[in-house]
Structure 1
Amino acid sequence: MTGQNGSQDKNKKTAMLVSLTVAGMVAMSFAAVPAYKAFCQVTGWGGTTQRADAESDRTLAREVTVRFDATVGQGLSWRFKPEQVSQTLHIGETGLAFYEAENLTDRPITGRATFNVSPAKAGLYFRKIECFCFTEQTLQPGEKVSMPVTYFIDPGLDDDGNLDEVQTITLAYTFFPWDDAEPEPDIGG
């Protein structure tokens, strides 16, 4: 009898271990997205830009050209484009760029912009002070708006030997429908 009970105990332990492993893997999968996002924000990985509370405290002689790009994700009936093709600034100098968005429908639509820079390794040094991408944007039917982004290239870029060849940085936004928008009230009969 000891053999059978021992075998059952071993099976229970194995089943418990497998269950705990599966539960741990599921928990890790849910934690992966916020952990990856935090990692990208801290390191600039994948072209993730950084937020700044104030302008840079120094400006360097080296110049960098910032190109602007805009796209609209599937399911958002907006026209979205940069109002300027590029800007050339000294590293540390504050830039102000504008993007134009227009709602092409007859109903209010809320969207939210995702962003990145390329080359991706420059993301750590691209600092945004103010940006329309920090919150969702609601456009009324047919409304057209000009949305600003205030930014600078951190002087630390000039100290990073891996970025000596960087002369142009592209700031790209994609607007997507914002699912968390409040539903429209039902005014039907």
Structure 2
Amino acid sequence: MDPELARKNKRIMAGCVLAVCFMIGLSFAAVPLYDLFCRVTGFAGTTQVSAEAPDEVLDRVITIRFDASTNAALPWVFSPEQRSVDVRVGETAMAFYVAENRSDRRTVGTATFNVTPLKAGQYFTKTQCFCFTEQALEPGQSVDMPVSFYVDTALVDDRNMDNVDTITLSYTFFPMEGEEDVSPTGNTAASGQPAPVN
């Protein structure tokens, strides 16, 4: 075989191997990168997370509505304790959801969430939440699940948000895979209160 042709074939082969390795690495990074993108931009109604509330509270009032649903595979009744609250922009508020295990066995669920309108996600900030944390309920057990939040004051500077006077916070609970192996110690199921998570 011609030595020059052999060198070209090796370069092409090396390029193909590098391209495959790059695509595999990108596929592993896609989920955390997408999650980071959603959290930074509020894309798809993804809310923000903060450890503290803003210093300023404005006069503009936003109605926060609460919605809840449960995957059919999880034998829980899950609902908000209040349908809505009116909050001033920058004001910290707290709402409660309640979940009850209607089965005769211990079950574990985890919640996903979003807000609508989707464009409000980048301004809706939670300081305490039960979402994405395993919640274990004993047979017949009922627990209150708090969520603390505020609407960021930056909302008033966004002309695209001028027509928004209502934001809906929605949660959906799903069963955890392998829930029978989950220890209740991290969820304070015995005390009747789940551990809040920032």
Q: Same fold by TM-score, threshold 0.5 exceeded? A: yes
Displacement of 1:60: 1.2
Map 1:1-189; keep pairs closer than 5 Å.
1=1, 3=2, 5-133=3-131, 135-179=133-177, 181=179, 183=181
Q: CA shift at 1:156, angstroms?
A: 1.1
How far residue 182 of structure 1 moved from its aligned partner, in angstroms, is 6.4
Give RMSD over aligned pairs.
1.9
Partners of 1:94 and 1:184 in 2: how far apart? 33
| Residue deviations 1:70-129 (CA, integer Å, cap 9, x gap) | 111353221111111111111112221111111122221121111111111111111111
2:113 corresponds to which letter in structure 1? F
Structure 1 segments, 4+ long, off by >4 Å, are none
Aligned residue pairs total 183
For structure 2, the 5+ residue unaligned runs are: 184-198
C-alpha distance in structure 2 between counterparts of 1:10 and 1:111, whole Å: 56
Q: What is the aligned-residue identity percentage?
A: 51
What TM-score comes out, normalization by structure 2 length?
Answer: 0.85
For the residue of structure 1 that corresponds to 2:82, the secondary structure is coil
TM-score under structure 1 length normalisation: 0.88
Q: Max radius of gyration: which structure?
A: 1
Partner Cα separation in structure 1 for residue 20 and residue 50 of structure 2: 40
